[in-house]
Amino acid sequence: MKKIILLFLFLLPVACGKIAEPYVDPYAENDFAITGLTLDNFPFMDCSTSTSPLRDMVMYHLLDIPYAWGLNVVSGSQYAVTFLLPEGVEQGSEEHKRMADILNMRLRRSSGSHGAFVNLIDGTTGVIIDSRDISRNESQYARQAGVTVETKPLAWDALVFIVHPANKVKSLTQEQIRNIYTGRITNWKQVGGPDHEIHAYTRDPDSGSQEKMETLVMQGQKMLDLPEMQGNTMLSPYLSIEMDEWGIAYTPYYFCERMISDLRSVKVLAVDGTSPTPRSIMNAVNGQKKDAYPFFSHIYAAIRSDAPADSFERQIYRWLSTPKAKDIIDESGYISLRSK
């Protein structure tokens, strides 16, 4: 692989649910090469917003294209992975323009958690890397379409809670969070803060953040139904909290620590007195009780079951479980399933 330039290199771990024993990747495979992949025949790879850096790094690695972390020049609001020119390709050349057109328009699709699964089921994308597993609604849509989807976990992520930096509250218990989002707790003074109404922000129903909130945190309890508090993009929680001293919202740890990072103007809360960090998340993953952040989860790869064994889609899906793929996962800032 050609020289790779990376601006940020640090690991982070995350989890979801209770693990009795350290996780063992049942899909682990030895390294193998995928031969014949080119810009012109690389299958569509879709993803959720928060998994787009990993998806892009996988694509660039398999195509042997150098890449770098940097500020997204289009949005200016998050960091992203962009390709660099390979040796022998000059800036502004026809080959450079062709590469940019294919990579930016055809391959770098990012449809969000729900959109990526829908596109996979519809057959308009070949492989996806998503912030969550397939949902009940998507599974039903697949059955109606006569399609079966295969999924497998790739790495760890977490769900974190953010408040305005001026908010004096530093930690909430799991039960307090559930009570805020069911409406049992309505004032910050009930959790050790000032006497002011709590503004509880949510995400759209099909988002990965909302699915994690409902499964990891709420545990079957019905959340407040406040459409006016619902955000429809990954940046919605940040934009809401930055303007609202009395708000609380939730967001993926990876997005918060890698894709927003120093651009954010929010405070991340501890849960049960433990802040989300690589160590505390992996403590929870490995079943430890002390210094363990509770709300951890997987990110997933998915493919249609009818993808032929020799197709590039199937080969990429298999390759994502190799030791080399785990190197890329760790490099991206996620924690691969081999990590302890």
pLDDT in tens, the chain (340 residues): 433 333 333 333 333 444 435 556 666 788 999 999 998 899 999 999 999 999 999 999 999 999 999 888 777 788 989 889 888 889 899 989 888 888 876 666 789 999 999 999 999 999 999 999 999 999 999 999 999 999 999 999 999 999 999 999 999 999 999 999 999 999 999 999 999 999 999 999 989 999 999 999 999 999 999 999 999 999 999 999 999 999 999 999 999 999 998 888 999 999 999 999 989 999 999 999 899 999 999 999 999 999 999 999 999 999 999 999 999 999 999 988 875 5
pLDDT value at residue 178: 98
Token pair of 296 as six digits: 């951890």
Could you give the CA distance from residue 182 to residue 177 in angstroms, rounded to a whole number?
9
Q: Compute the residue count for the chain.
A: 340
Going by C-alpha positions, the residue among 305, 285, 302 that lies closest to residue 294 is 285
Whether 179 is covered by a domain: the verdict is yes
State the pLDDT at residue 25.
Answer: 67
In angstroms, rounded to a whole number, what is the distance separating the alpha carbons of residues 163 and 146? 44
Residues 132 and 58 in one domain: yes
DSSP state of 214: I
Residue 181 falls inside a structural domain? yes
Do the domain assignments include residue 100?
Answer: yes
131 domain residue, yes or no? yes
In this structure, are 172 and 140 located in the same domain? no
- One domain for residues 167 and 245: yes
| DSSP bridge pairs for 187 | 197
Query: Is the residue at 314 inside a domain?
Result: yes
106 and 94 in a common domain: yes
326 domain-assigned:
yes
Max intra-chain CA distance, the chain: 64
pLDDT attached to residue 105: 67
* Domain assignment of residue 275, given as a range: 158-285
- For residues 132 and 189, membership in a common domain is answered with no
Sorted by sequence, the CB contacts under 8 Å of residue 105 that are 6+ apart come out as: none
Q: What's the predicted TM-score (pTM) here? A: 0.87
Do 150 and 236 sit in the same domain of this protein?
no
Do 96 and 187 reside in the same domain of the chain?
no
Residues 192 and 274 in one domain: yes
Residue 144 and residue 58 in one domain: yes
**Residue 172, both tokens:** 């909430």
Q: What are 156's strand-pairing partners?
A: 298, 335
Within a domain: 78? yes
Q: What's the pLDDT score for residue 340?
A: 53
What's the pLDDT at 325? 95
Residue 243 sits in the same domain as residue 187: yes
Rounded CA gap, 74 and 23, in Å?
38
- Identify whether residues 88 and 186 lie together within a single domain: no
Number of domains making up the chain: 2
Residue 189 sits in the same domain as residue 244:
yes
For 318, list phi and psi in degrees, rounded to 5. -65, -45
User: Residue 236 domain-assigned?
Assistant: yes
pLDDT value at position 77? 82
CATH number at residue 253: 3.40.190.10
